[in-house]
Structure 1
Amino acid sequence: MNLNQKSCSILKKLIEKEDIDVIEYDTDHGTVFLIDFGIKNEFHEDVGEKIAKVCMGSLGSVKINDNEIYVKIPKNPSIATMSCQMAGWSIKLNRINALGSGPARILAKKPSSIIERIGYHEKSDRALLILELETDVFPSVNVCRNILIETEANELYIPIFKIKSTTGLINIMARVVEVGIFRLYNLDYDINGIRYAEGRCIIPELDDDIMFKSNDAIIYNGRVKIEVNEWNPELAERAIFSSSKFYGKSFREIFEQCGCDFYNINPDIFAPAVLEVEDISSGEVYRAGKCHSP
């Protein structure tokens, strides 16, 4: 299982199919390919679904139907979400930090605490890192070179997009399952015991406030289902957003209270509205939470 190789192959086929221009940087450590999926270019939902798939190391699938997003991860949900999809790599672009996600995080061990706890490692001559940007400014050659060095790969593919784009919106909403697993991770549950995961959430309208609306949608209306080998019944109620001290506040309020820095946000904020757990060993099913409006 080489998630970077497989994800890069899927991405290359998408680039060819959509006839997307690629910016190529040749460096002394290898080649970097920048692909615009939502800065100057705008794409349909199918492209956003594919980018969300490779962001999970190709371990999951994403589909949009009737303005609702559906995510399924049939195998290795902890690796797909926490080792790949999570925006766990802060990339400095001039004075602004971009959010880095995708299987290249495994190669660079970003952050090392999570990568080591999940325990999945790989080496690859090709790496894929997704960058979510706040501006129209593309990463410089030097920034890309530094990322490439940290992955120790020969080729680095970087799909880039603004959060305020169709691709950006889909990729945020596709994290509904990741939010649920991240919450369990913070509750010290052994997330490697999760055998299957799926989630769904209504997609808000794309506008200038989409970063806030998308996160509100997940924490107040996101629904996650997991299958596990062993479960503590007391965890379900603790793993939903209504148990958080921030419940009742909008994501905008929470974001502003932490100085508008994504990496300063209290992790207790990230939890789904509803969690359903099926314990495969016992056959018991546990449900907690309900959907609300912020």
Structure 2
Amino acid sequence: MTDAAAAPLAASTLSVNTLSRPLVERLLATADALGVHAHRDGTGPCIVDAGISVGGSVAAGLLVGEICMGGLGQVNLRPDGKDGWPTWIEVHSAQPVLACLGSQYAGWSLAASKEETGGKKFFSLGSGPARALATKETLFDELGYRDRADAGVLVLEVDREPPQVIIDKLLRDCHLSGEGLTLILTPTTSLAGTTQVVARVVEVALHKAHQLGFALGNIVGGAGSAPLPAPSHDAVEAMGRTNDAILYGGRVHLTVRGEDAAARDLAKRLPSSNSTDYGRSFADIFTAAGYDFYKIDGALFAPAEVWVSNLDSGNTWHAGGLDMPLLLGLWQKEA
């Protein structure tokens, strides 16, 4: 294994929590305009409701997307009607491994039993910069990265506030005082929730590249786009739409270094069309799998179309393609 593959971020001095802090402050300062609501928990953390009891907004979701990327990515809206759909999310980063895997990836499993909560059990996958303070995932050992900051932010795709036992765990594992933690709650059924999930299009490609064994240290740039669907009030349907946006409408361009053979192989193996589950709505696939993600072919979790450019040779490879007829059939009604 090369040094780049073993610990691609070992030399990084960037702090995703420090870099994202101005974005968090902007979210709080413009909460009313963005349709979100913030309050302090009894133990000190700032809880931001971005779509549970408030309307939220696409604009809030764009900002949450940049917060999730640790201040190392740009997330924009492109309302140009290209490819038959009115609105697209565009994402790019000059530090894609740190922004996407070291921060944005929803990899921190947070669970509490009914006994621990005193009521209903709780589960969520935490994403965002505070993951790098706790480093509870083996992924951080591979990346060789750990952040240190006196304030951190975590995003949870939930429809209720986390119980106190979870908040206590977050404070303990992140080594933060109560006032130093911000939690942003974005249910996928909300405008902000749908937007910030679709903004993971480049992250999905990075995660797939990691699974395929590509040396992460050789990925030096990433850009992507995906169509933004309307949110659904049904949780499974909402999750299905955000996944479909990337699986069938996601485009990603990765810039890499290294051998041409590795770059070409990455382009060939990356698209979602390599999966045996490709071709149906994700909601149908998920339902048929008994609501068990582990029964779904892992090759499906990838963007639809990719380009891989090798800076060392100047060559670019392309594979996959969008399936807009499938998406339009799922999302669009005729007037």
8 A contact 1:6–1:57 mirrored in 2: yes
Q: Which residue of 1 aligns with 2:306?
A: 275
User: Which AA in structure 1 matches 2:164?
Assistant: V
% identical equivalent positions: 32
What does residue range 213-252 of structure 1 map to in structure 2 within 5 Å? 213-230=241-258, 231=260, 232=262, 233-252=264-283
The alpha-carbon deviation at position 262 of structure 1 amounts to: 4.5
8 A contact 2:257–2:311 mirrored in 1: yes
Deviations 1:156-193 (A, max 9, x none): 10011211001101111001111111111100001221
User: Which AA in structure 2 matches 1:35?
Assistant: V
Find 1:114's aligned residue among 120, 139, 147.
Answer: 139
Normalised to the residue count of structure 1, the TM-score between the two structures is: 0.91
Find 1:88's aligned residue among 102, 107, 121.
Answer: 107
Normalised to the residue count of structure 2, the TM-score between the two structures is: 0.81
SS in 2 for 1:276: strand
User: Which AA in structure 2 matches 1:219?
Assistant: L
8 A contact 2:88–2:226 mirrored in 1: yes
User: Which AA in structure 2 matches 1:149?
Assistant: R
SS in 1 for 2:41: strand
What does residue range 200-219 of structure 1 map to in structure 2 within 5 Å? 200-207=225-232, 208=234, 209-219=237-247
Q: Which residue of 1 aligns with 2:148?
A: 123
Q: Which residue of 2 aligns with 1:97?
A: 123
Q: Does 1:187 align with 2:206?
A: no
Report how many residues are paired: 287
Taking the aligned partners of 1:250 and 1:210, their CA distance within structure 2 comes to: 11
RMSD of aligned alpha carbons: 1.8
What does residue range 252-291 of structure 1 map to in structure 2 within 5 Å? 252-262=283-293, 265-291=296-322
Q: Which moved more, 1:16-25 or 1:258-267?
A: 258-267
Give the number of the structure whose residues are more often helix, by fraction.
Answer: 2
Deviations 1:59-94 (A, max 9, x none): 1011112101100112x2011111211111122254
8 A contact 1:88–1:110 mirrored in 2: no
Structure 2 stretches lacking a partner, 5+ long: 1-13, 80-86, 113-119, 327-335
- Structure 1 runs (4+) deviating above 6 angstroms are none
Taking the aligned partners of 1:271 and 1:288, their CA distance within structure 2 comes to: 12
SS in 1 for 2:278: coil
Q: Which residue of 1 aligns with 2:38?
A: 22
Structure 1 stretches lacking a partner, 5+ long: none
8 A contact 2:275–2:297 mirrored in 1: no
Question: Bigger radius of gyration, 1 or 2?
Answer: 2
8 A contact 2:37–2:54 mirrored in 1: no
Give the number of the structure whose residues are more often strand, by fraction.
Answer: 1
Taking the aligned partners of 2:23 and 2:151, their CA distance within structure 1 comes to: 12
